[in-house]
């Protein structure tokens, strides 16, 4: 039985991750309210009740308020911190009196960001720190120095990235002694290029030309845990259906509803099960504060184990809107 790459790093965690971008109210600098804390606490309690033990944050979420709210939850539950995995991200800077919207992987910014994250969370360490999207001005030597300092000080246990390709990860890893153990990407039934990037398809001749390992294969070979953000495609296949949808989306929704009914499960569990059926053991990040929707995901692991090759390819082909070459 293949295990998640993250488990090979001696990190025991759940297959599903609760994304906390919705914690903290509005995207502004208004104070955190008791209602904000209550909504987040209900989401965390629901996640824990279905076995989710990993939580994903970022220093920019709700202008830092997501981490502040999560920190208040940790403070109210003294025994919780050692039972969960906390992951946060840094590297995105909104426009301010210093400059425009930008990315910043400088050593100074990474260190300062982690200090701010830990202060808001009210904890001494992060289990995982991710660099949040690529920075074109990245100096990999500075990133390596920041990682070493944070590791040595005990402030961060492990490091990862988000939205990076194989070359960008290799660029960092060439200089950093600390391994990259996570790459967070947008993966779902609607966005399928991640499945098809390792093969060039000539529709006219019907030929396929391998051009070497793609990002997914690279991550598998390097034991990098791939996490999926927006794994439910913003609810497209499980209830949040826009007025105008494509024929492929309509047929996919119908197929998912049929499968959920036949298997006695939820549409969310079918959508996630399809994603998790892939042999790289994808770890979906469920970004919601809706407790019902969180509960609807609890059967996803079982559905991934039950899903046949034929069922998986039926969803894949229907979603892409055309026959496989």
- For 285, the 3-state DSSP assignment is strand
Can you tell me the distance from the alpha carbon of 233 to that of 250, in angstroms, rounded to the nearest whole number?
14
- The one catalytic residue in 61, 158, 218, 237 is 61
Token pair 């202008």: residue:
63
Can you tell me the distance from the alpha carbon of 164 to that of 91, in angstroms, rounded to the nearest whole number?
13
> How is 220-269 classified by DSSP, letter by letter?
HHTTPEEEEESTTGGGTTTT---SS--HHHHHHHHHHHHHHHHHTS-HHH
Asked if residue 288 lies in contact with residue 22, where contact means CB atoms within 8 angstroms, the answer is yes
Can you tell me the distance from the alpha carbon of 174 to that of 206, in angstroms, rounded to the nearest whole number?
38
Q: Is 61 among the catalytic positions?
A: yes
CA dihedral 291, 294, 299, 301 (to 10 degrees): -150
Sorted by sequence, the CB contacts under 8 Å of residue 317 that are 6+ apart come out as 323, 324
Q: Which residues are catalytic?
A: 61
């Amino acid at each position: 039985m293949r295990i998640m790459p993250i488990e090979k790093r001696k990190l025991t965690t759940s297959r599903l991750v609760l994304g906390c971008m919705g914690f903290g109210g509005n995207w502004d600098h208004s104070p955190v309210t008791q209602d904000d804390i209550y909504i987040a606490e209900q989401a965390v309690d629901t996640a824990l009740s279905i076995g989710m033990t990993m939580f994903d944050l970022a220093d920019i979420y709700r202008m830092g308020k997501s981490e502040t709210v999560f920190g208040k939850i940790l403070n109210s539950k003294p025994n919780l911190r050692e039972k969960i995995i906390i992951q946060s991200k840094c590297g995105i800077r909104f426009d301010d009196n210093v400059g425009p919207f930008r990315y910043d992987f400088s050593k100074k910014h990474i260190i300062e960001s982690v200090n701010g994250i830990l202060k808001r969370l009210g904890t001494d360490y992060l289990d995982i720190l991710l660099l949040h999207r690529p920075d074109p001005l990245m100096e990999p030597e500075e990133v390596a120095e920041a990682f070493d300092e944070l590791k040595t000080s005990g402030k961060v246990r492990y490091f990862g990235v988000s939205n990076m390709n194989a070359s960008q990860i290799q660029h960092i890893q060439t200089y950093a002694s600390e391994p990259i153990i996570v790459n967070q990407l947008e993966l779902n039934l609607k966005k399928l290029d991640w499945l098809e990037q390792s093969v060039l398809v000539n529709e006219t001749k019907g030929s396929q030309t391998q051009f070497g390992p793609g990002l997914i294969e690279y991550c598998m070979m390097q034991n990098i845990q791939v996490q999926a953000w927006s794994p439910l495609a913003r609810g497209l296949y499980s209830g949040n259906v826009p007025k105008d949808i494509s024929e492929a989306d309509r047929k996919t929704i119908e197929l998912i509803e049929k499968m959920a009914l036949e298997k006695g499960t939820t549409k969310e569990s079918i959508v996630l099960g399809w994603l998790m059926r892939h042999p790289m053991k994808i770890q979906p990040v469920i970004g919601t504060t809706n407790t019902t929707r969180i509960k609807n995901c609890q059967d996803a692991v079982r559905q991934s184990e039950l899903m046949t090759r034929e069922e998986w390819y039926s969803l894949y082909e229907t979603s892409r809107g055309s026959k496989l070459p």
